[in-house]
Structure 1
Amino acid sequence: MRPPIPRLVVFGIQHVLIMYTGCVSVPLIFGAAVGLDATDIAILISADLLISGVITLVQSLGIGRAVGVRLPIICGGTFASLTPMILIAHEYGMPAVYGSMLIGGIVGIPLAWLFAGLLKFFPPLVTGAVLTVVGLSLIGVAGGLIVGSDPESADYASPGNIGLAVLIMAIAVGILCLGRGMWRQLGVLLALVVGTAIAIPMGMYNLDAVGDAAWIGIPHPFHFGAPEFPVTAVVAMSIVMVVVFAESTASILALSEITGKDVSRGDLARGLTGDSISGILGAIFNAFIDTVYTNNVGAVATTRVFSRYVTATSGVILIALGLVPKLGAFVAGVPGPVIGGVGLIMFAVVAIVGVDTLRSVDLGDPINMTIASVAVGIGMLPTFIPGMFTKFPDSAQIVLGSGITLAAITAFLLNLVLNHTRLGEHARDALSHNPADPNQLSIGENDVAH
């Protein structure tokens, strides 16, 4: 059902505000890492917003039966591509970055259909474990927005920043729990607006960048020169595409759980093809590979607004922000503690959706319990120990550096081996023939006995 236009606009703005910081962070980090000047970084930001808007539109509305999953999806530049893009830029130059991304996107189109063939191996046991990791991993992102990213900064972890975030959370919780109808659904946006209004007199909303930004900014194809195709770089970006598929699959299946819409192999393939198209368009217009943003999955779960026309409206807004840099600079001014306050709630919602998904699994089965536990444990390692894989080869870091990807691979492989092979059957036979001693006390019972 398509909501009235006023609701489409306000709900669409809500989604954009939620994803904006993460989206522009990708070009900001990449530009700084490869030594681009402010003008080139501004070009990357505009291109990133433009392509994100186009792919969000495609994923929400679809193009025939070729591309687009037709779910309430917001897409944006993925952090999974950052490390390989930076390494390629230092080794081969910017033309190789976008040449390898172009080939990666082209290769990804047939791979999307092959990858979607694995859908039956992503039961609630796998998706629940991955979603739990996704939500828990993102809590650190929300915390970073609240306290700041530079420990040397004077306002890092300041009581004012933390207090503002707590106030925003209180407002959001109040509206989400006590509000009715549209007011409750707009709880996140209202909290963002109130938080921004409070931040202005505190001097936390800096609008200087708005005056410096241009009114019109149209990305030029291959701004950094004709694309180049070093084999090593092409292989690396093709691997990145598969990693992005794993991330997007988890988010798409999460939305399937949240909205109650079943996702077929064809639906998933069309969604992953959208990721591939983002690689092709991103290469041409100097942007990045897009993935489904999990923070917006949390927004859908929190607000219970399931209309894909809302996210399509967000896509139109993102395109406008990409073409009008002054608007983008205005949105970029929203203080981190404000976004982090509402983000903390939404990211935790994703984790709880994962836990709820696992409730449908027989966790009394020790094999299922082991699969879920190991996947969550391994998936959280990169979050708790950020530099643990830095001494591994660069190609390995592409996969190992993402906790979400690690969780997905671990859960998928363990489920495949232990629930779809004779090994799992033998293990269950052994368990059924060697039941636990009914006279043996559990740990809890032993504690009570003493």
Structure 2
Amino acid sequence: MTKHPVDEGLPAGRLTLLGLQHMSIMYAGSVAVPLIVGSALKLDPATIGLLVNADLLVAGIATLIQAVGIGKVLGIRLPVVAGATFSVVNPMILIASQYGLPAVYGAMLASGVFGLLIAKPFAKMIRFFPPLVSGTLLLVIGVSLVGPGAAMIAGHDSSAPDYAAPSHIALAFGVIALVVFFTRVLRGFANQVGPLLALVIGLVVAVPMGLVHGDGIGDAGWFGLASPFHFGAPTFPIAAVLSMCVVMLVTFTESTADLIAVGEITGRPPTDADLARGLATDGVSAVLGGVMNSFPDTAFAQNVGLVQMTGVRSRWVAAVTGGVLVLMGLVPKIGAFIAAIPEPVIGGVAVVMFAMVAAVGVQNLRKVEFSGNHNTFVVAVALGVGLLPAFVPDFFKHFPTWLQTIGGSPITVTAFLAFSLNLLFNHLGQRREPDLLKAP
């Protein structure tokens, strides 16, 4: 019996390069979470370094579980790469400011257990994520992530002297041009590693530009990992726990769209049982994060875009990525070497990957019947309102913390609207009538 391409093994050299490519695409996004949180809480550089190591270790474990699976309990067994979710940043900072870091990790532990308990019931709602909902959500995920991609290229501080430097933008556009060139010209395996080749060439070009700083490589140790509960015994303030449970629901919503997308791209659409195992892995990552001073993980959208772009469907590629991330988490010197790649180089590839996620959303929407119903209206409302916090990040800043947690994420707002509007117009008292927005 012929193996499905998802289960197919590849030669060791090819697996390694493809796994490294996935790692290079997700690295900057994943370590951004501990860097942002650590900086906001004014932690010293050594402690931030421990957070980064723990983040990579837990992301690697979660990726391995997703790709390989553990019995009938954990792992969706698809080429899924996990990384720290940005949804956790603001709640962590707010909880730490009010209750301290032990409360952050206690709440994270509790949210992980909550995630494990609700993974199966949540997964049974997959029938309410038809292409109308998943396509709209993926479109918003891709579009909203282009902003962080642009920040990698231009810089994060608009007051910095080198913000939006023409040389940085030219470097990123050069990397994008290389991705386009390799995709058009190369064939076979060389085509599949085109983004990685573009990254390497971009790194080489960045050296004489003075953008590659390798000082951290020499300073980094060969082994480093924070002990469990590094910040003290966990505490469980009710408000903090509820806030983190909301984050878990947000994470599940984002992961659901990404897992469905990977399933469709690879030709193995997930069942509700598959989805439950994938979501339960997110819960496990939060439990591990609470113990190891890390962060909850979600399926990374940019890696979904990479699967779509390269056509490489083997889950063992993602397993290699997970192994590399674990190694990086245990050996800081390796992580420091990868961190030396300038953000404009990574950003050039990242914006293409993010846009590929949006393109997958458009492909999903092509499967939707827009005639004789209100589906156009559903997409319009979910898209328009959902993108508000993407374009105005402080849109909900004067609202309660719990509402900021939900409303501050374009993904969450879009998911809620697309899901509820689909129920309202297509399930509750469904009726067919002329599409109000159909062109005459």
* TM band (smaller chain): over 0.9
Give 1:366 deviation, angstroms. 4.0
Contact 2:122/2:276 (8 A) holds in 1: yes
Secondary structure of the residue that 1:117 maps to in structure 2? helix
Identify which range, 207-216 or 284-293, moves more after superposition.
207-216
Contact 2:376/2:437 (8 A) holds in 1: no
Contact 2:74/2:281 (8 A) holds in 1: yes
**Pairing partner for 1:247 from 229, 254, 265:** 254
Q: Equivalences for 1:21-170 in 2 at 5 Å?
A: 21-170=28-177
Question: In 2, distance between residues paired with 1:141 and 1:184?
Answer: 26
Question: In 2, distance between residues paired with 1:131 and 1:202?
Answer: 36
- The answer for the alignment partner of 1:446 in structure 2 is none
Residue identity in the other structure for 1:4 = P
- The answer for the alignment partner of 1:294 in structure 2 is 301
Question: In 1, distance between residues paired with 2:326 and 2:248?
Answer: 23
Judged with a 3 Å threshold, the aligned counterparts in structure 2 of structure 1 residues 435 and 179 are, in CA distance, closer, same or farther, namely: closer
- The answer for the alignment partner of 2:413 in structure 1 is 406
Q: Equivalences for 1:10-409 in 2 at 5 Å?
A: 10-409=17-416
**Pairing partner for 2:14 from 4, 7, 13:** 7
Residue identity in the other structure for 1:343 = A
Question: In 2, distance between residues paired with 1:383 and 1:236?
Answer: 21
Question: In 2, distance between residues paired with 1:13 and 1:61?
Answer: 17
Question: In 2, distance between residues paired with 1:243 and 1:261?
Answer: 24
Give 1:222 deviation, angstroms. 0.3
Question: In 2, distance between residues paired with 1:342 and 1:129?
Answer: 23
Q: Which runs of 5+ in 1 are unaligned?
A: 443-450
Residue identity in the other structure for 1:129 = T
Percent identity for Structure 1 against Structure 2? 48
Q: How many pairs does the alignment contain?
A: 433
Give 1:365 deviation, angstroms. 3.4
Give 1:372 deviation, angstroms. 1.3
Contact 2:229/2:290 (8 A) holds in 1: yes
Judged with a 3 Å threshold, the aligned counterparts in structure 2 of structure 1 residues 435 and 16 are, in CA distance, closer, same or farther, namely: closer
Question: In 2, distance between residues paired with 1:275 and 1:125?
Answer: 24
**1:147-171 Cα deviation digits (max 9, x unpaired):** 1111122211111001111111111
* RMSD of Structure 2 on Structure 1 (CA): 1.4
Question: In 2, distance between residues paired with 1:149 and 1:13?
Answer: 26
Secondary structure of the residue that 1:291 maps to in structure 2? strand
Identify which range, 276-285 or 251-260, moves more after superposition.
251-260
Question: In 2, distance between residues paired with 1:209 and 1:112?
Answer: 40
Question: In 2, distance between residues paired with 1:152 and 1:231?
Answer: 39
Q: Which runs of 5+ in 2 are unaligned?
A: 1-7
**1:36-60 Cα deviation digits (max 9, x unpaired):** 1111111100000000000000001
Structure showing greater radius of gyration is 1
**1:103-150 Cα deviation digits (max 9, x unpaired):** 110111111111111110000010110111111111112111111111
Question: In 2, distance between residues paired with 1:12 and 1:107?
Answer: 31
**1:49-99 Cα deviation digits (max 9, x unpaired):** 000000000001100010001110110111101111111101111111101
Give 1:218 deviation, angstroms. 2.5
TM-score normalised to structure 2 length: 0.96
- The answer for the alignment partner of 1:445 in structure 2 is none
Residue identity in the other structure for 1:402 = S
Question: In 1, distance between residues paired with 2:267 and 2:372?
Answer: 26
Give 1:268 deviation, angstroms. 0.5
Residue identity in the other structure for 1:219 = A
Contact 2:377/2:437 (8 A) holds in 1: no
Give 1:32 deviation, angstroms. 1.0
Question: In 1, distance between residues paired with 2:303 and 2:269?
Answer: 19
Question: In 2, distance between residues paired with 1:217 and 1:289?
Answer: 20
Residue identity in the other structure for 2:395 = M
